[in-house]
């Protein structure tokens, strides 16, 4: 199973927003959802995306999206935005679960059965790591992972790098999926 953990510092924890960009950058969250699950004419069933929202009004909020349960979803930002708004309003959508859980609780839980990797430019190059079946990759939003949370995650895992180029979080997910597709 592939796990991606997105730490969103400012992502709204309510559905009280007009658009994704002005909702603590839920547009970035939307792009990560698309990159995590969607291929041409197919949905990845072996992926779970974990999103920790830390924006107003009531952080943290945890959204879990499981590819094996995900359906009735198109691959555009507008559709994902509607789904996020509905889920944040406590409505259901196939594959989406929402609850109160902190980043640190999630890391502890996932570390029991998964190798934890924190994406960081100064980490070990992905080419030098033999990736296994059960992996969890930690990504920050456009601001990055808070130092406290990064240090906590590193107690359970290690830094990994995609190279010298700094990519958007959604692009990192695409690159990681590509690398995993090659070896698994």
pLDDT at 148 over 80: yes
What is the number of domains present in the chain? 1
| CB-based burial label for 181 (10 Å; 0-12, 13-18, 19+) | exposed
CATH number at residue 146: 3.40.1280.10
Q: How do residues 64-118 score in pLDDT, each as one tens digit?
A: 999 999 988 888 899 999 999 999 999 999 999 999 999 999 999 999 999 999 9
Range of the structural domain that residue 45 is part of: 2-183
Furthest CA-CA distance within the chain: 44
């Amino acid at each position: 199973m592939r796990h991606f953990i997105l730490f969103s510092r400012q992502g709204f924890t309510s559905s009280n927003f007009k658009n994704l960009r002005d909702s603590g950058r839920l547009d970035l969250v939307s792009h990560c959802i698309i990159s995590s699950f969607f291929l041409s004419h197919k949905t990845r069933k072996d992926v779970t995306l974990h999103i920790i929202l830390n924006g107003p009004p009531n952080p943290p909020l945890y959204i879990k999206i499981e590819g094996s349960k995900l359906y009735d979803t198109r691959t555009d930002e507008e559709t994902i935005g509607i789904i996020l708004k509905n889920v944040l309003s406590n409505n259901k959508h196939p594959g989406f679960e929402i609850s109160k859980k902190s980043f640190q609780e999630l890391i502890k839980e996932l570390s029991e059965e998964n190798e934890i990797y924190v994406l960081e430019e100064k980490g070990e190059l992905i080419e030098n790591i033999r990736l296994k079946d059960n992996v969890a990759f930690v990504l920050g939003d456009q601001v990055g992972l808070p130092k406290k949370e990064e240090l906590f995650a590193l107690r359970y895992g290690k830094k990994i790098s995609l190279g010298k180029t700094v990519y958007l979080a959604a692009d990192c997910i695409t690159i990681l999926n590509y690398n995993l597709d090659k070896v698994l």
